[in-house]
Amino acid sequence: MTDQSAKAARRQTDGRKQLYDNVLDTIGNTPVVRINRLAPEGVELYVKAEFFNPGASVKDRLAISIIEEAERSGALSPGQTVVEATSGNTGVGLAMVCAAKGYPLVVTMAETFSVERRQLMRMFGAKVILTPKEAGGTGMYAKARELADAHGWFWAGQFETEANALIHANTTAREILADFDGRRLDAVVTGYGTGGTVSGLGRVLREARPDLEIVLCEPANAQLLGSGIPQERTEAGGPASGHPAFEPHPIQGWTPNFIPLVLQEAIDNSYYDRLVPIAGADGMAMARKLAANEGILTGVSGGSTFSVALDMAQTAEPGTVILAMLPDTGERYLSTPLFDHLAVGMSDEEETLAATTPGFLMS
C-alpha cells in the first residue's frame, strides 16, 4: 500500500485481543502521543496521556499500588475501611480501587478543591470529609490521621508510602523505556504532588538512560523546592508544619503546603536535573491551547507541565525529543477557572451563527 492510499484507508480496529478480569487490570500502559500543531519545527514533542487510565489520572497507579502492597503485607484486612487525605485524583483512584475490591473509603479534602472530584469519589461510594481552606494540605492530612487513629482504619499514606514511587518505577518508567526503545529521548518533564512520579522515574531512568534530562516543575508562587528550605517532619515522616514558602496556587494536584517524604527521595538522590517554576495562569492558558489545537484535554497540572516542555522545545537544538507528563483530564476542572472563559449558554459568536438560518432560534 502506498503512503497516499494508506492515508486514504478507512480507520478500523481489531480489538486488544485480551479480556480483562476487572477494571483495575486496565491501569497503566497509557499512550505517548506526538504534538503536531504546537510543537516547533525540527523538535519532537510528546505527551504521556495519563487520563487514559480508567479513573482518568496518573493516581490510579498509586491507588492500586497502595492497596495491593497493603494486601500483600497484611496491613490491610478484608473489609477494613481505608482513609486518605487528597486533593482529589488519588481519592478518585482509591475510590475506584476500593469499590472494585470491596473496601469502604473515607477521604479528607480541603474545601477549595473542585466539586467534580468530591462528587466522583462519592459516586464510587466513598465518604468525603471537607476540611477548612485555612488549614490547607496539612489540615486535611491531620484530619485523616485523626480518623485513622480513632477508628482503627487503614491509613493509605500517599505522601509517605513506599508503594508510591515503587509503582512508577515498575510501570511508568518501564513504559517510557519501552515506547522509546531504539529511539532518541532527551528530556522528561513532570510536576510533583506527592513526588511519586519523579522519584519512581528517577530510580529507573537514571540508570537506563543516564544522559536523559529530568525536569521538575513547581508553581511560581509556591516554590517549596526552589526556596531551599527543608521540610520539618514528624518521626513518621509526615509534615510537622506547613512549609514557609507555600502560597495558595491554582495548579490543583501539585505542591501541597509541605514537601512530601516521597519527594524527598528525588531531592536526596538528585533525580531531577532542573527545577522550573511555572505560573498557574500560564498552565491554564496552555491547557486551553492543547485542547483547541491538538484535541488533547488535560487539567491545569498537565497544561503547566506541557508549558515548560514547550518552552524548552522553542530553544532546543533540531532533532531534540521531549516528553511531558499529563497527569489527568480537563473534565476534573469544569467548575474551576480553567473553564471560566467559556459561556454556559451561547456566546455572541454562537448566537450570530445560529441566526444565519431562520429555524429553531432560542428566544
Active site residues per annotation: 59, 301
- Edge-to-edge strands of the sheet including 187-190? 32-34, 44-49, 321-326, 187-190, 213-219, 274-278
Half-sphere exposure of 149 (CA within 13 A, CB side): 6
Locate 127 and state its grid cell: 465518604
Locate 111 and state its grid cell: 474545601
Strand 32-34 relative to strand 274-278, pairing: unpaired
Close Cβ partners of 314 (under 8 Å, ≥ 6 residues apart) = 40
Q: What is the DSSP letter of 39?
A: S
Residue 137's beta-bridge partner residues? none
Local structure of 147: helix, strand or coil:
helix
- How many helices (H) and strands (E) are present in the chain, helices listed first? 12, 10
Of 293, 354, 302, nearest to 333 by C-alpha is 302
Q: What is the DSSP letter of 170?
A: I
Phi, psi at residue 127, to the nearest 5°?
A: -100, 135
The residue to which cell 508549558 is assigned: 307
Local structure of 22: helix, strand or coil:
coil
Residue 49's beta-bridge partner residues? 326
Tell me if 87 sits within 8 A of 192, measured CB to CB: no
